[in-house]
C-alpha cells in the first residue's frame, strides 16, 4: 500500500516508524510543519517526524499552508497514494486533499471520539478527570475530527499519570491501531461508523490563562489541572512564580495503589492540622513535601520549580526554600 504520512511532533513518530518497518506499506513521502527556531541560539530545528524521515531517506515536504500551495498540491496528486495517514500534523486539510487518495485520509486521534474533538484531547481528558482514554482511527472529512470512525483502542488513566505519560502510551497505541486500520480498509473488513454529534465534546487549544492555579478550587480539580497541563501550571511563592509539576490529592482519592502512595497516606493520617485559607501551607510531610489547603481537601506538592531554579522533588523543595507552615501560595 502506497502511503503519504502527515505528522509533526514526537507523538507521531511511533506511527511513522511502524509504517516504515511494515512490509505491506511503502511510505512515499512525509509532510510535516516547517522547521522552527528553538533554543538560545534561535537555530532552525526540524520536527521529530522530519528527523525520522531523513534518517530513512524519505522525501520530506514542508508547505507553510498545505491547502494553498500549488506545488504541495501537485506533489500530493502525483504521488498516487492509496492513503494519506495523518497523526498530529498541525494543519487543516482541504476537501481537495481529502479526496485525492483511493482509500481516503486516515487520522489517528488521541481520544475516544466523539469525546474530545480538537487540538488537545489528552490534556483536556486529564483536566476533566477521565479514568480512561484511547485512540480512534477515522476517515477524515472537512470538519474538526468529525469523520466516520474506523477502530478504537482504550487505555486506563492512573491517578498520577500526566499528559506526557498518557501521550507516550497513546502514541504507541496509535501506531498499532493504524496498521490494523489500514490493512482492514484494504481488505474491506472495517465498516466506517458515523459519530454521534450529540455526544461530542471539545478539546480546544490551551491558553496561557489555563495554567493559572486557583487554590479555591478542590484538591482533585487542581491535581487534574496540573497533570493535564504538565509541566506549565503556575502559582506564586514569596512574590516569585512557582511551577507545580506533580501533586497528590490527599482526600477523596485512592492512595493504596502503590507503596509510595500508601506511605503518603499514612503520613497524612498521622498529621494534625488547623483550618486555614485556601493556598496556605498546612503541613510538611517529611520525605514527601508541603501540603496546601485548597477550597476542598488538601494537596501534596510532589514536585515544584521556582522561577530561575531547577525542578525539585517535594521534600527537597521544602528544605531548599526553608518553607514554613502558614506561608501562602498566590495566583501565578
Per-residue pLDDT tens digits for 143-177: 999 999 999 999 999 999 999 999 999 999 999 99
pLDDT for 332 beyond 50 = no
pLDDT mean over 189-213: 97
Question: pLDDT for 214-261, tens place per residue?
Answer: 999 999 999 999 999 999 999 999 999 999 999 999 987 778 888 889
Percent of the chain surpassing pLDDT 70 = 99
Residue ranges covered by each domain of the chain: 2-199, 208-331
Helix (H) or strand (E) holding 219: helix 219-228
30-55 core/surface letters (b: 16 or more CB in 10 A; e: else): bbbbeeeeeeeeeeeebbbbbebbee
pLDDT at 107: 98
Q: Which fold has domain 208-331?
A: 3.10.25
112 annotated ligand-binding residue: yes
Averaged pLDDT for residues 99-120: 97
pLDDT at 258: 85
Q: Does 34 carry a binding-site annotation?
A: no
CA-angle at 253, arms to 167 and 261, nearest 5°: 80
For residue 283, pLDDT beyond 90: yes
CATH number for the domain formed by residue range(s) 2-199? 3.40.50.170
> Does the annotation list 19 as a binding residue?
no
> Is residue 331 very low, low, confident or very high in pLDDT (cuts 50, 70, 90)?
low
Question: What integer best gives the mean pLDDT of the chain?
Answer: 95
CB-neighbour burial class of residue 288 (10 A; exposed 0-12, middle 13-18, buried 19+): buried
Task: Quote the pLDDT of residue 143.
Answer: 92
Q: Using an 8 Å Cβ cutoff, are 216 and 299 in contact?
A: no
pLDDT, residue 42, reads 75
CA dist 271 to 223, 282, 285, Å?
A: 21, 10, 8
Distance of CA 80 to the CA centre of its chain: 33
Whether the ω angle into residue 190 lies within 30 degrees of 0, i.e. cis, is no
Residue 261 marked ligand-binding: no
Q: By mean pLDDT, which of 33-42, 56-65, 184-193, 289-298 is the weakest?
A: 33-42
Amino acid at each position: 500500500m502506497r502511503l503519504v504520512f502527515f505528522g509533526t511532533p514526537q507523538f507521531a513518530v511511533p506511527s511513522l516508524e511502524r509504517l516504515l518497518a511494515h512490509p505491506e506499506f511503502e511510505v512515499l513521502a512525509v509532510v510535516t510543519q516547517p522547521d522552527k527556531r528553538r533554543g538560545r541560539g534561535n537555530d532552525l530545528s526540524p520536527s521529530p517526524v522530519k528527523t525520522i524521515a531523513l534518517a530513512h531517506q524519505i522525501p520530506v515536504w514542508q508547505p507553510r499552508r498545505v491547502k494553498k500551495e500549488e506545488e504541495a498540491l501537485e506533489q500530493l496528486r502525483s504521488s498516487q497514494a492509496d492513503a494519506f495517514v495523518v497523526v498530529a500534523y498541525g494543519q487543516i486539510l482541504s476537501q481537495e486533499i481529502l479526496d485525492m487518495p483511493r482509500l481516503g485520509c486516515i487520522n489517528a486521534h488521541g481520544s475516544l471520539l466523539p469525546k474530545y474533538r480538537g487540538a488537545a484531547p489528552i490534556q483536556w481528558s486529564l483536566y476533566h478527570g477521565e479514568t480512561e482514554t484511547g485512540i480512534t482511527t477515522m476517515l477524515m472529512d472537512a470538519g474538526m475530527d468529525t469523520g466516520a470512525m474506523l477502530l478504537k483502542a482504550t487505555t486506563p488513566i492512573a491517578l498520577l499519570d500526566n499528559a506526557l505519560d498518557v501521550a507516550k502510551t497513546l502514541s504507541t497505541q496509535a501506531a498499532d491501531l493504524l496498521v490494523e486500520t489500514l490493512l482492514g480498509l484494504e481488505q474491506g473488513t472495517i465498516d466506517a461508523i458515523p459519530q454521534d454529534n450529540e455526544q461530542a465534546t471539545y478539546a480546544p487549544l490551551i491558553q496561557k490563562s489555563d495554567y493559572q492555579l486557583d487554590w479555591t478550587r478542590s484538591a482533585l480539580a487542581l491535581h487534574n489541572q496540573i497533570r493535564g497541563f504538565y509541566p506549565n501550571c503556575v502559582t506564586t511563592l514569596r512574590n516569585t512564580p512557582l511551577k507545580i509539576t506533580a501533586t497528590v490529592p490527599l482526600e477523596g482519592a485512592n492512595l493504596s495503589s502503590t507503596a509510595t502512595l500508601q506511605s503518603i497516606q499514612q503520613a497524612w493520617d498521622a498529621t494534625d492540622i488547623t483550618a486555614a485559607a485556601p493556598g496556605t501551607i498546612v503541613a510538611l510531610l517529611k520525605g514527601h513535601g508541603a501540603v496546601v489547603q485548597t477550597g476542598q481537601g488538601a494537596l501534596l506538592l510532589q514536585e515544584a520549580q521556582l522561577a530561575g531554579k531547577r525542578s525539585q522533588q517535594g521534600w527537597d523543595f521544602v528544605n531548599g526554600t526553608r518553607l514554613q507552615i502558614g506561608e501562602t501560595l498566590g495566583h501565578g
